Structures are given as structure tokens and as C-alpha cells.
Chains A and B, each alone.
Chain A
Amino acid sequence: MTPNDDDDTKVITFSSDYPDTDYRFLEANQEILDQIKNNKKLVIKGSLTDEAVLCTDDKTFTIRAGHTSNSMLLVSKDTNKIKVALQYHLELTEIQPKLNVLKDLLYSKAIDNSLDFEDDENLLGFSFDEIIDRIQSSEKEIQQYLLKLNTLIYKNRYIVLSENYEFKILELILSEATIGAWKLDNIPIDKCIENIRAPEFIIKHCLQLYSKQKSPTNSGGGGEEIKGGGGDDNNDENICSLDFNKVCIFRAKQLLTLSNKSNMKFEDFMDNWKDTLPIEIQPNFSMLKGIAILIPSSSTNPKEKSVKFINESILPTIPKARFKELFQISTRWSIDDIEPFIKSTIPPGNSLEQFILTYSRPITTSTGEKMIVTRF
């Protein structure tokens, strides 16, 4: 029987430019459809050696090709011509943004001393456009991370202070406090600026970092620029109140990074820690959660403990490798202790307990305490 000759019959032909290899199928989830509907930005990011990601305003998706044994012919409804036959489409999976690269990028140009500001030919830091171009994350995620990294905006560019420089400035501030007999919750800003040989906005930035005020000076994107020659625009009061916790953490990091080659015994560490702090500050080891842990220093005496400094930012980003390294540092962990070190690697949608049990096993010690040990 001859097929009906009506509008429902189409003669399917190949187009004159078949196969047009520029076409792709991109799977669209609800977030992607919303972006398109609102005429917002969709960007594929990655360098030649990276795995490509797709970024919306506030989320990051990895792109993978999903292959099939079938052939999908893309046919135009207007002309009934086949443009291309594909056996794959691009699938999207939401991931945590890849932001450690941003930290490495900024710290590769970290400010190390005050002389960096005097050389006008040398561009300091990175502009926001440069950061967006290189980092495989959405703009909003980048902005949040820039806030978290305590970046400064100097001449429309984002800069960070190296840890050495930051410690140096804070050291000078604390020295001035000792010399001037100031209380740490009553630091006169003007006198700091007078006596410390460093740019004014750097001093203000460091005071801001270690003060009790919660509102950040910088905001990402269209951020507020700190001008070096400014007066008291950012501070109605000329008094700064240092946060004791932050000062303690600063001193502890100093001690632990200086003695990086060997573990420091807990008692020695606490003594040295107290000695470096003003009299009115009493340090507590719980302040160092997420920075250092206590581990047994010898197998003969389990009560003897050492302080182990862990730099979370240099741990592997792959969860399995990170857990492996953490269990090499200490064979058993409490959930409270391990959480700060793995929180940044939890995939969206997973809970903390689910994630921990994927890579470790729970045990109960003889004292009834719940711990986790390696699964592999």
C-alpha cells in the first residue's frame, strides 16, 4: 500500500552540508532552562588540559559525553533535512566549584613587602575579568571565595597579602601595643599608622582582619576600593578592638609553621603559645579546630600527645585521596575533628555522615567514644 500523500508524510533528505559537525546536543536540566529563560550567562570554562565545566550564575557543572549505540538524527522541521547524526550527548553533573586554583593563582602574586606598591610598572594581583576567565567556577562562587580569602582591591585589582607579610604587619601591631601599653581591645588606629612603616590601607586591612568587627571591608564584583590616601572614611571611631581568638590562632600558626619539621609536644606547645601572647589572653586548644590536631607522639605512652599542624588548603581535592592522607596523619579521628578538613569536598546533595561513611568505618573505643578509621 502506498503511504498516504498528506501533510503527515515527509521526505527526509540529508542537508547540503551534511554532516555539520558543529552541532551538539546539550542536556538541559531545570537550572539551565531557567538561565536561558532569563537571558542569563552560560559559560563553558577550561584550559586545554582541564576537564570542561559549564557555569551558570551561581553553579558549576561538569560536562561529560554520554554515548549511545543508537544514532540520533537531527532533522529540521522546516526543511526535513538531516543536519547531523550523533551517537552522544553532553551530560551535566553539578560539582563543587574548583576554587583551590583561585587561591594558588592569587598567592602566586601575593604581596610580600611594602616595596611592591612603589613599582608602578608591575601590575599587582589580578582583575576580576582575569579571574573569571581562568577559574572554573561561576561568578557568584568566585565572589564568595574572594571574600573568604580576605582579598584587597587595589587599583581595581584583587590582591592578597602573603602569610609572611600579614604576620609581619600583625607582629608590628602587637609590638606597638606592647610599647604603647595599649589594651588589645583598645588599639588607636592613628598611632598604628604613624608608627608602622607600611601603607596605611594595609595596616587598616590587617586590623580589620583581626578585629571583632564582622562586616567585611571588601565586597566582591563591584567591590569597594580601598584608597591608600584616604582618611577616616571607613572608621567613624578611631579605635580598633582585636579579636583574642584570632590573635591566638595567629600565634599558634606562627609556632607550628616554624617548627614544621618535627611535631611539638603538647605541653611545650602550650607553654610557648602562652609566652608569645599578652598576659590577658588565655589560649585554649579548641581554638585550633580545623588547623591542628593532637596525635600520640609515641607508641609506648598513649597519653603523651603531640600537636600536628595540618594545612587544609594543600590536602588533595579528591575525596578518596584526602581521606587517605588524613588517615596517614592519624589512624583514627572523631567526626568533630575531621569535619573541618573534609567539608569542602562534600558533593552537593550528600550529608556529612553519608560522605564520611563512604570512605571510612565507624568504631567505638574502649572508653565508649565514637571514632572513624580507614575503610581501605
Chain B
Amino acid sequence: MQIFIKESTNKKEWFILDLQGHLEYTGDLKNETLGILTKKPNTKDDFSFQIGNSVLVGKRVPLKKPLLVIKKSKLNNNNNSNNNNKMAVDNKDNKDNEKDKEVEYSIEGICNDKIQFTTRPTTFIPQSSVVYGSPTHKSPSSSPKTISPVKVSPTSSPIKNPEFNN
């Protein structure tokens, strides 16, 4: 069986974010916002990535070997008469339902570098004009809905969301 890798007519440009660990989430991520990627001024390769209250500092690094972005697609056999003839010959030798549809890959782009985030994230706290502990202090309103930050290591701080009962 042959799977052809062909150049796509729909070439795209991509970049890769290399995050430590893996994303943990519940529910559907479609169309959700992950974070804000900012290129630091006056630098070529430095980036920061804000995910919720966490800020990751990263750098663009070249890849040792370029990575091709390939996408799998399935060709419907009925559309191609040549494939029909070929399948007729193949079906004499083996009856394999897997060959009902042929698969091919399209090369949709090539990446020569990636933005790599290797350091531990820092916390971004928006400033408030209210003095802590004063009579006018109130609990901060719930933050906008965001994805959980990237899990860095299993030994992260055990303190979670401290709550004050003032």
C-alpha cells in the first residue's frame, strides 16, 4: 500500500509554540482563547505569553531539522477511475476493507523554528488602587473565564486559591 505525500495547493504559514508539560482541560476548547503572545520590543527573538494570570517568557530557536506540516486526507475511491482499475487488480490478491478509501498527505507548510518556553511561569497581578485591609476593600470580582495555566510540574505549590473571610 502506498500513501503519497504531495505538495498542497493551499500553502499556509505556521509557527510552533513549544510549552513544557501538556494542556489539561475539561470540556470543549473550540474557539476558546488560550492567551496573548507578545513580542518584546527591541528584540528579535524574545516573546512573552500570558495565559490567564501566568506569564511565560520564551525565545525563538531554530530547529535542528525543519518540520514539515503534513495533513492527512482521505480520497473517495469512486471519484477516480484510475484508482478503480488499480483497486480491481488489488482486490484479486487481497480483500482488505481498509482500502475502500485511499489516504494521502498534503504538505501544508514548513517550520524552521519554534518559540520555546523553558522557564517557570511568573504570576501577573493587575494593580488595584484599594489598600489591602481598608474598610472599602472588597473581594476582587471573578476574573474573566480563562483556560487553566499550563501545568509545569507535579510538585507545584500546594497552596490553591487562598480565600479571605473578612
Is the Cβ of A75 less than 8 Å from the Cβ of B16?
yes
Q: A residues 32-72 with Cβ under 8 Å of B? A: 32-33, 36, 39, 41-48, 54, 69-72
Is the Cβ of B5 less than 8 Å from the Cβ of A12?
no
How far, in whole Å, are A10 and B7 apart by their CA atoms in the complex? 29
How far, in whole Å, are A130 and B6 apart by their CA atoms in the complex? 21
Is the Cβ of B12 less than 8 Å from the Cβ of A9?
no
Is the Cβ of B33 less than 8 Å from the Cβ of A13?
yes
How far, in whole Å, are A28 and B50 apart by their CA atoms in the complex? 31
Q: Which among A10, A17, A33 has the highest number of chain B CB atoms within 10 Å?
A: A10
Is the Cβ of B21 less than 8 Å from the Cβ of A130?
no
Known: A8-B39, A43-B5, A45-B2. A82 touches B66 (CB 8 A): no
How far, in whole Å, are A8 and B46 apart by their CA atoms in the complex? 11
**Least Cβ distance of B8 to chain A in Å?**
11
Is the Cβ of B13 less than 8 Å from the Cβ of A77?
yes
Q: Is B61's CB within 8 Å of the partner chain A?
A: no
Q: Mark B30-67, 1 if CB is under 8 A from A, else 0.
A: 11111111111100000011100000000000000111
Residues of B within 8 A of A14 (CB): 29-34
Q: Is B75's CB within 8 Å of the partner chain A?
A: no
Residues of B within 8 A of A3 (CB): 36, 38, 48, 50
Q: A residues 296-339 with Cβ under 8 Å of B? A: none
28 A–B contacts, CB within 8 A, in A order: A4-B38, A9-B38, A11-B36, A13-B31, A16-B31, A19-B29, A20-B71, A24-B70, A25-B67, A25-B68, A26-B5, A27-B66, A28-B66, A28-B67, A29-B65, A36-B7, A41-B4, A44-B2, A44-B105, A69-B20, A71-B18, A71-B23, A73-B19, A74-B16, A74-B69, A75-B15, A77-B14, A85-B22
Q: A residues 192-211 with Cβ under 8 Å of B? A: none
Residues of B within 8 A of A20 (CB): 71
10 A-B pairs with least C-beta separation: A8-B39, A42-B5, A44-B3, A77-B13, A73-B17, A22-B72, A26-B68, A25-B67, A14-B29, A10-B37
Contact of B70 among A10, A12, A23, A48 (CB under 8 A): A23
Residues of B within 8 A of A130 (CB): 89
Query: How many Cβ-Cβ contacts under 8 Å join chain A to chain B?
Result: 158
Other than A43-B4, A72-B17, A75-B17, give 20 A-B pairs with Cβ distance below 8 A: A9-B38, A12-B34, A14-B33, A22-B73, A23-B71, A24-B72, A25-B67, A25-B70, A39-B7, A44-B3, A44-B4, A47-B1, A54-B5, A73-B17, A74-B16, A75-B14, A77-B15, A80-B37, A132-B2, A133-B1
Q: Is A182's CB within 8 Å of the partner chain B?
A: no
Q: Is B163's CB within 8 Å of the partner chain A?
A: no
Q: Is A212's CB within 8 Å of the partner chain B?
A: no
Number of residues on chain A facing chain B (CB within 8 A): 55
How far, in whole Å, are A220 and B130 apart by their CA atoms in the complex? 84
Residues of B within 8 A of A70 (CB): 18-21
Known: A44-B2, A47-B1. A24 touches B14 (CB 8 A): no
Q: Is A87's CB within 8 Å of the partner chain B?
A: yes
Q: Which among A4, A11, A12 has the highest number of chain B CB atoms within 10 Å?
A: A12
Is the Cβ of B14 less than 8 Å from the Cβ of A76?
yes
Q: Is A89's CB within 8 Å of the partner chain B?
A: yes
Q: Mark B131-155, 1 if CB is under 8 A from A, else 0.
A: 0000000000000000000100000
Contact of B98 among A4, A48, A133 (CB under 8 A): A48
How far, in whole Å, are A78 and B10 apart by their CA atoms in the complex? 13
How far, in whole Å, are A4 and B20 apart by their CA atoms in the complex? 25
Is the Cβ of A18 less than 8 Å from the Cβ of B29?
yes
Residues of B within 8 A of A133 (CB): 1-2, 86, 90
How far, in whole Å, are A366 and B89 apart by their CA atoms in the complex? 62
Q: Is A374's CB within 8 Å of the partner chain B?
A: no
How far, in whole Å, are A14 and B17 apart by their CA atoms in the complex? 13
Q: Is A129's CB within 8 Å of the partner chain B?
A: yes
Contact of B21 among A19, A48, A71 (CB under 8 A): A71
Residues of B within 8 A of A25 (CB): 67-70, 111
Residues of B within 8 A of A76 (CB): 12-14
**Least Cβ distance of B85 to chain A in Å?**
10
Known: A70-B18, A85-B22. A33 touches B36 (CB 8 A): no
**Least Cβ distance of B70 to chain A in Å?**
5
Is the Cβ of A45 less than 8 Å from the Cβ of B3?
yes
